[in-house]
Amino acid sequence: MAAKIKKSATTSAKKAASVVAQPISAPVTKPISAAPVMPVAKPKTPVVKSGPAVERQKMIEVAAYVLAEKNGFQGDAQKYWLQAEKDVDAKLGKK
């Protein structure tokens, strides 16, 4: 009976090896084609990165932040901004 068990174990091992030895074929898929790239329109006017308007804007940003910080960042941000605009314009001599 031991020989019979050996034989069936060997047969099972051969079947398992034959299953493992077979190459696995993956489904064939087409590559995804990229969508056409649309050209990006260039702006007609250059973006201003420096100058008096930009400097004024930065001054207002800082002043509004300082006002908000003094009040513990409680309150309306728009009110801080408007007050900062008034303060900066007064410093710059604008109406």
Instruction: Give tens-digit pLDDT for 35-69.
Output: 666 676 666 766 556 778 899 999 999 999 999 99
Instruction: Give tens-digit pLDDT for 65-81.
Output: 999 999 999 989 999 99
Q: Residue 83: which residues within 8 A CB-CB, separation 6 or more?
A: 63, 64, 67
What pLDDT is recorded for position 26? Answer: 64
| Stronger pLDDT, 17 or 44, i.e. the higher one | 44
87: amino acid identity, one letter: D
Q: Specify whether the CB–CB gap between 87 and 63 falls below 8 A.
A: yes
pLDDT band, residue 87 (cuts 50/70/90) = very high
